[in-house]
Amino acid sequence: MSLLIGFLLIASSLLTIVWIDKNDQDYLRQHQALHDRDLNQMHLIREMLSNRLELWFESFIHLQQRITDNSEATRDFISEEFDYLQLNWQINNLWLFDSQQQVIYANHQYIPDYVKDGAAQTLKNQSSVSQIRCVQSCFQLISMPILSTNGDLMVLTASASLLEMMAALNRSTSAELALVVSPLGIKGASLRDAQIQAPISYIKRQNLDALLKLIPQSITLNMVLDKGYRLVINEQAYLINLLPVDDDITDTAYLLAVHDISEEWASHESYQFGVITISAIVVALCALTFFLMAERLRRRLLILAKRLPLLAQKKYDEFNDMKFKHSLMFLDEIDEVQRSTNLLGEQLEAMDGKIEQNTRELENIAMYDRLTGLPNRNMLNFILRKKIAALARTPKPLVVILLDFDNFRKINDSYGHGVGDEFLMVAAQRLRSSLRESDVISRFGGDEFVIVLQEVDDVSNAITLAEKLVIKFREPVEIGAQRFYTSVSLGITTCEGQNLTVDDLVRQADIAMYAAKDAGGDRYSMFNEGMSTKVMRRIEIEHDVRDALLDEQFKFALQAQIEISTGKLIGFEALIRWLHPKNGYIMPDEFIPIMENSESMITLGYWGIKRAFKILAHLESLGFSGYRVAVNLSASQFLDPNLINFMREQLAQSEQGAEQVELELTERTVVADIEQTLRKMHELKELGFTFSIDDFGTGYSSLAYLSQLPVDIIKIDRSFIAGMSGNSADKQIVKSTVAMVRKLGMKVVAEGVETAEQLSMLKEMRCDVAQGYYISKPIFEDDLYQALPTKLDDGVWNKLDLQF
């Protein structure tokens, strides 16, 4: 807006300047006209003067015949003529000089110097000299050569007043006139230094002098000659023109014409003042209208600017309440924008409502399980968070139970997902009906359900409920005609204001549930911190074992087996060790059960078999040939389809015989899939490998059963050996086992022999082989290669008291 007003101001100023300039020019033109008129008058005067001169000449020529010499007659004659001339030609003075410049006649005693000079100049040039002189008044002067009757050169000088002429000029110009003389005679001289010789008009000399003194020094004669000069004092304005009186004669004398132009000046000034005032008023009015118009626009735009953010903030009521100002006359663009804004507001409001409704529906979907209609994991998180927060206000504990079906996968895999889903629906109903209304039950995922107990007086209540649920789910689930027998494992955890998060609670219940599963399922288990560290360790091991295989962090320790009757070394059992880069040595009991059933267990198993062949080769290279290395095979490894091929490859690559490699299987491995086991054992047996049954006595299989398999060796579990003292039951078991095994044509190895007493008892029982700390602890491969030469004495494992 200020820009617009600025523009307006500039435009009107320009217009004003143009008007004023035009007016100025008119004004100046007026002055120029005055100046020109003065000049014309001056020309007129000049013409008159030159006419007079011509007349004078004519009248003087006839005088020549009567002028003789410096005689009285001549003087009388001139005197007579002077009267005539004075009357007819306005000649005021007359002088006659002879060739020696002696005055012959003068009508006046006083002869000014310039008259004498003029005469001298005339004599010298022998031509007439004309000049205008102003002394008190101005007059025209002419000196001309005259030849006397007796042939002498004389000078006749006449002067005539210019007063009359000036008066005539004064009348015709209506200006105040004065003759001025510039003392310097240069046109560059200042006007104010000019001297007034004679005022012609009625103006007083002093007034004229005072006027001249007001002219600035910088105003030169030249300037004034050209255009005149305008002088303004006290509301009075004068135009001062300077007119050269006669260019030929002199330029020191000028006619000064002072015109009183006060009236024109006043009207010029008032015109300019009027123009400026009008344009200022116009600017002010325009600015005001602009401001008023723009202000309304601005206010309307401001309202719009305030309304629009309300849409973004979803304050629709406020948006609708804020009323818009319409244009005063006709609809303009802002009205249009406003209309669109209102439309936008309406649509946004409608859309927002719809979004809100959809969000509620989505929340419903997101919070409840579609299959069972129970709250889902999201909802559980939400509820648990609230309950944990509420713990601060109640002394009662919060109980979280995680329930998992023991064989749901089997149902799903065998009968399909449709049946699985129905099973879950029925199970969910059964669960719901077993709980109080206030308890929360949610489907956590798959076949896992989480129960949150509210207001439990004592944790024992939770245990009672868990027991009840275990029993309740032993009853079969009926789907149509089908009956599904199932069982559940429950993990229970409680929280009494400890700083636990939802995730912590669910994780604890999960750990406890896995403990129940580990213990065989169909039971509940209460969470304790020990479980947690076990699980942590388990997770750590599962994670690290992959790197361990790549980095070859596994090593074998070899434990010697000796023939009891002779004390001779017959071979070693290879026992795995994990050299963990951070945790040091980890024993197999810690990581084998975790790795069991995983791909890495099989990889590790193959590594072990390969290593066994290498050990045999190395022993042979050291000169210890004919020994046997026993390798433990995990159940999954034994069932691996690649096993037979792998063994064949090893045999082909190695110089060692298959009979040197003993494969240890546990009873559990053997009974897992008896048909496959049998087939595999026979195939391996055909390749030449020997089989031993590890940990015998801990399983349920009988010797009679095992003897039907191609087994060569039975290893009696060390728990029996450890229990063999005095006349114990274990001693009897070992004794009869040894006897039976021998009878069935197999060999017996006693594991865990720790004392000389045990060894001597075993010897008495005619047990074939002994293995145990008493004979040797497992020794790392590299250490064994070094120690072996010192350990053996003619094949007998020394440093043992076997003399019994």
Which residues of this chain interact with Ca ion, rule CB under 5 A? 632, 664, 694-695, 751
Cβ-based nearer residue to Ca ion, 78 or 643: 643
Options 508, 559, 561, 660; binder of ligand C2E; rule CB under 6 A: 559
CB 58 within 8 A of CB 89: no
Rounded least distance, CB 573 to ligand C2E, Å: 6
Residue 139: CB atoms within 10 Å: 21
Nearer to ligand C2E, 16 or 692 (CB): 692
DSSP class of residue 65 equals G
- Environment class of 284 (CB within 10 Å of its CB; exposed 0-12, middle 13-18, buried 19+): middle
CB of 532 to ligand C2E, least distance (A): 24
Kindly tell me which of 372 and 758 has the beta carbon lying closer to ligand C2E: 758
Min dist. Cβ of residue 608 to ligand C2E (A): 5
- Closest distance to ligand C2E from the beta carbon of 773 (Å): 3
Q: Shortest approach of ligand C2E to residue 393 CB, angstroms?
A: 52
Minimum gap (Å) between residue 648 Cβ and ligand C2E: 21
Binding mask 709-728 for ligand C2E (x = CB under 6 A): ---------x----------
Residue in the block written with tokens 């999954």: 636
Helix axes 72-89, 2-61, angle to 10 degrees: 140
Burial class (CB in 10 A: 0-12, 13-18, 19+), 328: exposed
Nearer to Ca ion, 220 or 634 (CB): 634
Q: What is the 3-state secondary structure (H, E, C) of 562-629?
A: EECCCCEEEEEEEEEEEEECCCEEECHHHHHHHHCCCHHHHHHHHHHHHHHHHHHHHHHHCCCCCCEE
The residue (of 510 and 695) whose beta carbon lies closer to Ca ion is 695
* Token reading at 148: 């006397």
Per CB under 6 A, the list member of 82, 175, 772, 797 interacting with ligand C2E is 772
Q: Does 589 bind ligand C2E (CB under 6 A)?
A: yes
Shortest distance in whole angstroms from residue 581 CB to ligand C2E: 20
Sole window of 276-284, 412-420, 545-553, 588-596 interacting with ligand C2E (rule: CB under 6 A): 588-596
Contacts of 743 (CB under 8 A, 6+ apart): none
Please report how close the Cβ of residue 747 comes to Ca ion at its closest, in angstroms: 15
- Closer by beta carbon to Ca ion, 631 or else 761: 631
C-alpha distances (whole Å) from 109 to each of 86, 87, 440 are 17, 20, 155
Closest to ligand C2E by CB, 396 vs 610, is 610
Min CB(554)–ligand C2E separation in Å: 8
Number of residues that bind ligand C2E (CB under 6 A): 21
Binding mask 675-704 for ligand C2E (x = CB under 6 A): -------------------xx---------
Is residue 561 within 8 A of residue 571, CB to CB? The reply is yes
Q: Which residue has the tokens 């799903």?
A: 412
Cβ-based nearer residue to Ca ion, 98 or 751: 751
Q: Would you give the binding string for ligand C2E spanning residues 773-802, x where CB under 6 A is met?
A: x----x------------------------
Q: According to CB under 6 A, which one of 754, 763, 792, 795 is a site residue for ligand C2E? A: 754
- Rounded Cα–Cα distance for residues 212 and 240 (Å): 9
C-alpha 461/C-alpha 526 separation (Å) is: 13
Q: Does 669 bind ligand C2E (CB under 6 A)?
A: no
Which one among 94, 166, 466, 576 touches ligand C2E, defined by CB under 6 A? 576
302 in Cβ contact with 276 (< 8 Å): no
Residue 199: how many other CB atoms lie within 10 Å: 22
Nearer to Ca ion, 422 or 664 (CB): 664
- Closest to ligand C2E by CB, 253 or 647: 647
Of 375 and 778, which has the nearer Cβ to ligand C2E?
778
Residue 405 pairs with which residues in a beta bridge? 488
Closest approach of ligand C2E to the CB of residue 761, in Å: 14
Residue type, 139: F
The residues pairing with 735 across neighbouring beta strands, listed in sequence order, are none
Q: In the complex, what is the shortest distance from the CB of residue 788 to ligand C2E, in angstroms, rounded to a whole number? A: 18
Q: How many Å apart are CA 241 and CA 223, to the nearest integer?
A: 10
* Identity of the amino acid at 54: E
Determine the interface stretch with ligand C2E among 189-197, 420-428, 519-527, 586-594 (rule: CB under 6 A): 586-594
* 307 binds, options ligand C2E, Ca ion, none, Cβ within 5 to 8 A by partner type: none
CB of 618 to ligand C2E, least distance (A): 18
Nearest CA-CA partner of 715 in 691, 684, 731, 744: 691
Q: Secondary structure of 673-735 in the HEC alphabet?
A: CHHHHHHHHHHHHHHCCEEEEEEECCCCCCHHHHCCCCCCEEEECHHHHHCCCCCCHHHHHHH
Residue 718 or 747: the one with the smaller Cβ distance to ligand C2E is 718
| Shortest spacing between CB 505 and ligand C2E, in angstroms | 35
Please identify, using beta-carbon distances, which residue of 317 and 596 lies nearer to ligand C2E.
Answer: 596
Asked if 634 is part of the footprint of ligand C2E (rule: CB under 6 A), the reply reads yes
Whether the Cβ atoms of residue 489 and residue 406 lie closer than 8 Å to each other? yes
554 has which bridge partners? 578
Task: Please give the sequence-ordered ranges of beta strands (E in DSSP) within 49-112, or none if there are none.
Answer: 91-97, 103-106
CB of 694 vs ligand C2E, minimal distance in Å: 5
| Contact between 638 and 679 (Cβ < 8 Å) | no
667 binds, among ligand C2E, Ca ion, none (CB under 5 to 8 A by kind): none
164/153 Cα distance (integer angstroms): 33
Q: Is residue 459 classed exposed, middle or buried when 0-12, 13-18 and 19+ CB atoms within 10 A define those classes?
A: middle
Nearer to ligand C2E, 427 or 633 (CB): 633
The binder of ligand C2E chosen from 176, 470, 752, 762 (CB under 6 A)? 752
What CA–CA distances, in Å, run from 762 to 529, 716, 767?
Answer: 43, 11, 5
Contacts (Cβ under 8 Å, ≥6 apart) of 19: 275
With residue 576 as reference, give the H or E element that holds it.
Answer: strand 568-580
Examine residue 397 and tell whether it contacts ligand C2E (CB under 6 A): no
Q: Which of 575, 670, 681, 706 binds ligand C2E (CB under 6 A)?
A: 575
Q: Quote the least distance from Cβ 594 to ligand C2E, whole Å.
A: 12
Residue 792 is classified by DSSP as E
For residue 118, state whether it binds ligand C2E (rule: CB under 6 A): no
Beta-bridged to residue 488, according to DSSP, are: 405
CA–CA gap between residue 224 and residue 222 (Å, rounded): 5
CB 635, min distance to ligand C2E, A: 9
- Tokens 């003993």 correspond to what residue? 662
- Cα–Cα distance for residue pair 540/533, rounded to 1 Å: 10
Among 228, 397, 567, 608, binds ligand C2E (CB under 6 A): 608
Which of 55-63, 75-83, 356-364, 627-635 is the region at the interface with ligand C2E (rule: CB under 6 A)?
627-635
Q: What are the structure tokens assigned to 774, written together?
A: 């008493």
Binder among 73, 539, 587, 787 for ligand C2E (CB under 6 A): 587
Which is nearer to ligand C2E, 351 or 587 (by Cβ)? 587
Query: Whole-angstrom Cα distance, residue 4 to residue 2?
Result: 5
| Beta carbon nearer to ligand C2E, 380 or 609 | 609
In the complex, minimum distance from the CB of residue 764 to Ca ion, in angstroms, rounded to a whole number: 22
Residue 6's Cα: distance from chain center in Å?
Answer: 38
Residues 561 and 548: beta-carbon distance below 8 Å: no
- Out of ligand C2E, Ca ion, none, what residue 559 binds, judged by CB under 5 to 8 A for its kind, is ligand C2E
Residues in the site for ligand C2E, rule: CB under 6 A?
559, 575-576, 587-589, 592, 608, 632-634, 694-695, 718, 751-754, 772-773, 778
